[in-house]
Amino acid sequence: VHGGCAWCAAHARPLPWRTEPREPWAALVCEIMAQQTQIARVAERFGPFMERFPTPAAMAEADEREVLALWSGLGYYRRARSLHAAARAIVEHHNSVTPTDPDALAELPGVGRYTAGAVASIAGHVRTPIVDGNIARVLVRLEGQDLAHGAAGTARWAWSRAETLADAADADRIAAFNEGLMELGATVCTPGEPDCAACPVRTECVARREGRQREIPRPKATAKRSILHAGAAVVTDGRGRVLLERRPTGGLWGGLWQAPTVDGKTPITAASLRSHVLPDSPNTIELSLGFEFAGETEFRTTHRDVRFRVWRAEARSPMTAKLSALGERRWVGISEFDTIALGSAQRRVLAAGGVSADGVSAAEA
C-alpha cells in the first residue's frame, strides 16, 4: 500500500491548496470546505476565499456575515460558522498560528478526527491516520472485507486499519501516503465502477483478485427522507431590486438571505405567504401585480426534500422601516447577489420567480 506514494506524486490532481510546503491554515480551510462538497466547486472558490482570509487573524477580525457571503455556493453554512470560530480560537489560544498537532486541531470548533488528521499529516508530517468515506472504501476493498458503506462497524475497522498503516509509514512520507489514499478513493477506487487497471495497488487488492470490487462495501440502507414545504415570494421594485429577508440564526440555512419565505409540514398557500410579506397594520408595500404563481422547484438537503412554491409580485411603493417587524429585510440589487450570503436553494427560488441566479433578470438572460 505504501507504494502508492509515488503514484500520488505523479497523478494527484493539481489543486490550488497543494503547495510546497503545505500551509496549515490553507490545509484547514480546504478540508472544511471539502466536507460534503465537490472538489471542483471547492477549487473554484478556494482562491478568492483565501485572498480575503489569508490567515486565521484575517478571518477572526471579519464579521461572520462576510464569511458567509464568501462561502455562498458551497452549502452547509454551519461549516463556515465553525471555521470562523476556529479562526478566533487559533488567534486566542495558538498565537494566530494554525496548530499541526492532531489533538490541538481536534479541539477547534468544527474539526473532527478526519480533518485533524488530514491537516496534521499533510501540513505537519505527523504520523496519524485519516478515514473518510473514500478512504474506507479503498481499505475495505484492499482487504476484501464484507462490510457496509457508512456503517459504524465499517468506520471502526477502517480507522484501526488506517492507524496500523500510518504507524508503518515513514514520517517524511506520511503526507504523500494519506493524500494518496484520498486520491485513490476520489479518482480511481470509485463507488460504482472502480478503474482497477489504473490502480497502483491492484496486485494487493483482495476484492479485485476475487472479482468483488463492485460488490463491496455493501450499500448502506437509506433512511427515509422527510419533506419540508415552503412558499416564497419574489418581489421586485421599479429600480431592479429584489426584496430579501435574513433567516433566523440556527436551523436550516440559518442566517442566509432569501426571498420572503414561509415553510411548514403542509403545502404553503398564497394567503399565508402574503400575510408574511405584508404586515397587517399597516401594509408597507403596495403590490401592482398582486401575487402571481410562478412555479415550483425542489431542493435536496442531506436529510430532506424542500419543495418550494414560488409567487412573484411587483412593488409600487418603497419599503419602509415597518416592514422589518417580521425580521431583517432589505432591497438588494441583483448585481449584489455575490456579496451576500445567498445559498443555492435561494438562488433557485429567485430564478423560478424571474430573477436568474447569475445576477440578471430572467427577461434579460
Query: What are the residue ranges in the chain where pLDDT is below 70?
Result: 1-5, 279-289, 317-327, 357-365
The Cα 352–Cα 312 span in angstroms is 9
Q: How many helices (H) and strands (E) does the chain have?
A: 14, 7
- How many Å apart are CA 148 and CA 66, to the nearest integer? 41
The reported pLDDT for the residue numbered 291 is 81
Q: Comparing C-alpha atoms, which of 127, 151, 119 is closest to residue 137?
A: 151
For 195-223, write each residue's pLDDT tens digit.
999 999 999 999 999 999 999 999 887 77
Give how far the C-alpha of residue 322 lies from the chain's centroid of Cα atoms, to the nearest Å: 35
Query: What is the distance between the alpha carbons of residues 154 and 134, in angstroms, rounded to a whole number?
Result: 12
Catalytic residues: 31
Task: Using the structure block, give the residue that is written with the C-alpha cell 505527523.
Answer: 126
Scanning 78-216, the segments in alpha helix (DSSP H) are 78-93, 102-106, 113-124, 133-143, 152-168, 174-183, 206-209
Q: What are phi and psi of 314, to 5 degrees?
A: -120, 135
Exposed (0-12), middle (13-18) or buried (19+): which is 249, by Cβ within 10 Å? exposed
pLDDT in tens, 49-90: 999 999 999 999 999 989 998 998 888 888 999 999 999 999
CA torsion 28-29-30-35 (nearest 10°) is: 90
pLDDT for position 220: 80
Predicted local distance difference test score (pLDDT) of residue 288 = 58
Q: Using DSSP bridges, classify how beta strands 304-314 and 226-236 pair: parallel, antiparallel or unpaired.
A: parallel
H/E segment holding residue 350:
helix 344-352
